[in-house]
Structure 1
């Protein structure tokens, strides 16, 4: 690949083998280079291709206005998610997260910090993403000699979640409300206090997170395979109430989202609910 335009020391405009215009990022990628020079593939850490006109405009603006160090930090966050969790984030997260990190550091240097109104939901509904947000804070603190509050970890988590969903940040709030409302149905059906920090609830929240994504964007049912053993376990425990609660959730989703749950969807909900109730009863003994 040859350089068509140098955007900054770490970003260039070029073309791929299909003659599509792409933007390539890499530490020191364009240092000492000029137009038509070959790009060193060993320095590349991100390629944007192909992209919409709107995304290209936002990306170019971000590149021109932002220190490349923030792209590198974003890359570290995304790489860790890919390597440890096998999570691929949408390309848009590079733009939004990089811009957010740069803006946050700029504010922090002036002693200005934002409060995150979704911090509780993030800690409890998206603990994995929040934990990566905390890890990212350490990168920022070390790099810029700052001390961010935990609220900032929540903001970073929101960008990660939006990257997972493949949509804008507004979808994060919708997914949070979905998980919150389903959890309320379980909580009030059984009149219990749910332990949001438990592994059992975390698994339930993760199930709801991916169910939400499938419901909103795939609109098709996922095949989970043979459920006979799990179903048998629920039946043997005579836990018909978990099944009834799952039916209430089915009715809510049908009415609110015009989406019909399959029998497997219902049974998986019942299994998760059964485990939450079993945990609750075990702790009450």
Structure 2
């Protein structure tokens, strides 16, 4: 590979044998190199190519200032998340997570630890992403001799929640989605004066439904299917209390987000609430 631009002693933009520009990293890999010089491939520890040019440029800018060790930590966590969560991530995770880890380490070394008021809700509603955050904190603490905790694990989890969508319009919504889920759950708890078994299948179904519901609210989208007024009328009488509870959620959503829940949305909410409370 030929050097196109050196970033620092440990990183460079190089052109591979297919004529594609890639980021190459490794201790001393770019030391003393000039454009068009050949790289010593024995010093190349990793290469990275991001399809989105803007994302690639942002990550390249980060590499100039972020220590190699922290870039390795971010990549290690992303690879762990791919196995743990089993979803495809938007490429921007390489930029956002690397930058976040770098800043979090700097803050921790300056004695500044941020509180995350949503941490336990994130842990409940996004257990896999929170587990990734916990693993990230463990790796960072061991590698950088800092003492990050569950607040930071939740912040990191948010990056993965956001990166699970390829649609940029759906990104950076995780906090608001979590707020909607929490409020809807509270409405059901208060209406039926109860608590829920958070390990149960019906609770999992309910929370999963709320996640997609909250996302549609924030994007101002509705189900594409036709409204079934007859079925909703049947549910209104057969599941009277769950239906009344779903109507309270409908009122909250309209008041807070100016979003009108359709009959189909109300139907699905009623069904999931019924499943959740049927044994009360």
TM-score normalised by L of structure 1:
0.72
SS of 2:49's equivalent? strand
The answer to whether 1:35 aligns with 2:35 is: yes
CA distance in 2, matches of 1:25, 1:208: 42
SS of 1:5's equivalent? strand
Distance 1:275 1:144, change over 3 A: same
Q: Which residue of 2 aligns with 1:24?
A: 23
Structure 1: where are the runs of 5+ without partners?
224-230
CA distance in 2, matches of 1:117, 1:9: 40
Deviation of 1:208 (Å): 2.0
CA distance in 2, matches of 1:203, 1:65: 44
The answer to whether 1:148 aligns with 2:184 is: no
Q: Which residue of 1 aligns with 2:74?
A: 74
CA distance in 1, matches of 2:240, 2:115: 43
Q: Which residue of 2 aligns with 1:187?
A: 189
Distance 1:128 1:2, change over 3 A: same
Deviation of 1:240 (Å): 3.5
Provide Cα deviations, 1:117-158, integer angstroms capped at 9, x if missing partner. Answer: 222222222222111111111211222244322222112112
Alpha carbons 1:14, 1:24 under 8 Å: kept: yes
Q: Which residue of 1 aligns with 2:244?
A: 244
Correspondence list, 1:221-260, <5 A: 221=223, 238-254=238-254, 256-260=256-260
Deviation of 1:6 (Å): 2.5
TM-score normalised by L of structure 2:
0.74
Alpha carbons 2:30, 2:39 under 8 Å: kept: no
Alpha carbons 1:2, 1:38 under 8 Å: kept: yes
CA distance in 1, matches of 2:53, 2:138: 32
Moved more, 80-89 or 244-253: 244-253
Deviation of 1:12 (Å): 3.6
Deviation of 1:9 (Å): 5.7
Alignment RMSD (CA, Å): 3.9
Alpha carbons 1:7, 1:64 under 8 Å: kept: yes
Distance 1:25 1:173, change over 3 A: farther
Provide Cα deviations, 1:25-46, integer angstroms capped at 9, x if missing partner. Answer: 5556945765344797x96564
CA distance in 2, matches of 1:46, 1:214: 34
* Larger of the two Rg values belongs to structure: 2
Aligned length, in residue pairs: 266
Distance 1:118 1:255, change over 3 A: closer
Q: Which residue of 1 aligns with 2:100?
A: 100
Provide Cα deviations, 1:181-218, integer angstroms capped at 9, x if missing partner. Answer: 22222122222234556554344223322333344448
SS of 1:48's equivalent? coil
The answer to whether 1:115 aligns with 2:120 is: no
Deviation of 1:94 (Å): 1.8
